[in-house]
Amino acid sequence: MTIDELRNSGCILLECISGSKAYNLDTASSDTDIKGVFYMPKDMYFGLEYVPQISNESNNIVFYELGRYVELLLKNNPNILELLATPSNCILFKNPILYVLTPEIFLSKLCKETFANYAISQIKKARGLKKKINNPMDEKRKTILDFCFVIQDNGSVPVTKWLDANGLNQEMCGLSKIPNTKGMYALYYDLNGRFSYKGIISDELSNDVSLSSIPKGENPRSYLFCNLESYSVFCKEYREYWDWIDKRNDARYQNNLAHGKNYDSKNMMHTIRLLQMANEIIADQKINVWRSNRDELLSIKSGEMEFQHLMGLGDSLMNEIDQNFSNCLLPEAPDHKLVERLLVEIRSVLYN
């Protein structure tokens, strides 16, 4: 089922403007996001064609099937609680049958986990993104050879420099493990190609050094250390960095460069918003989607605040949440039986 088919079916129960316009944080460049709730036509619901969610290609229009909507509300999912508490000026259509589902039924102490912990994960993501922006990686991938070092003069030198300085080829080298050590190898060199050594690495995609059979009586030319742990960290960061380059929103990235703070300011704005909302839910048992502190949040989005100041603000809000949580009057979780009864009643009317 497509969005157009859904609109023609007459099964939409709720349609709202969501995102920045519902938060009171929209600007001239903001898109219009739509979220809503629908129910399946009777034959599809009781048959084999149940669809929990329908969205368009850009994913800025999303509708949740009634059962999925209620399931996510029970989990105190932030996006779905925000949909439940959409400001009246952003509600395009709401079937009166949904008025029995109110925020008071669903708000619980789970919000500390779903709102605040999600915000913390976004802070970690922001730190990682800042690192990516400030430490771009060369497109050419390093090999494990770049993490190998030869012992020399009470110190070490990169094996590539050592090979160049001595006019040697890595392909003519042979390595054997040194017992009772980690990452240490005796390095032999086959000047005349008699022993068919395997080289330090077999090729540039190797994930470890190669070991060779060393004839008895051969003396090592030097000793080599391979920092395999550092190579593994590099591979992970290299993959994450170029995945980010491939998938990033370039307009948003250029905006982050333009304000000069080198962090994802939009992400940080929503992170602080989530923490503020979590604090309000815990302290006041209310969910406020429409933000009264528009200027403060938009100043974060425009990059007016230093990254460290935002990290401090996030820590301060978390401390407030922890303090308020000890006196929180909300239930541990929503009343599952009550919600299930309401859902059954709604479906009974819809499928009369």
Segments forming the whole domain that contains residue 348: 1-106+332-352
Which amino acid belongs to residue 72? L
Q: Looking at the structure, do residues 83 and 148 belong to the same domain, yes or no?
A: no
Asked if 6 and 12 touch (Cβ cutoff 8 Å), the reply is yes
For residues 177 and 272, state if they share a domain: no
Cα distance between residue 78 and residue 227, in whole Å: 43
292-330: pLDDT as tens digits: 999 999 999 888 888 889 889 988 999 999 999 999 999
pLDDT band at 47 (very low <50, low <70, confident <90, very high): confident
Shared domain for 2 and 89, answered yes or no, is: yes
Q: Give 111-136 pLDDT, tens digit per residue.
A: 998 998 788 777 766 666 656 666 67
Report CA dihedral (157, 158, 162, 163) to the nearest 10 degrees: 170
Name the residue type at position 149. F
Query: Do 85 and 126 reside in the same domain of the chain?
Result: no
Contact 45, 70 (CB under 8 A): no
Q: Tell me, yes or no, whether 341 and 301 share the same domain.
A: no
| Mean pLDDT across 81-101 | 97
Mean pLDDT of 127-148: 79
DSSP string, 103-151: HHHH--THHIIIIIIHHHHHHHHHHHHHHHHHS---SSPP-GGGGEEEE
Q: Are residues 169 and 201 in the same domain?
A: yes
Are 123 and 42 contained in the same domain?
no
Q: What dihedral do alpha carbons 299, 300, 303, 307 form, nearest 10°?
A: 140
Q: Give yes or no: residues 127 and 266 share one domain.
A: yes
Whether residue 49 is found in the same domain as residue 114? no
Q: Is the pLDDT of residue 167 over 90?
A: yes
Q: How far is CA 84 from CA 64, 69, 132, 279, in A?
A: 12, 9, 36, 18
78 and 3 part of one domain: yes
Count of domains observed in the chain: 3
User: Residue 46's pLDDT is what?
Assistant: 86
- Among 144-153, 155-164, 258-267, the minimum mean pLDDT is found in 258-267
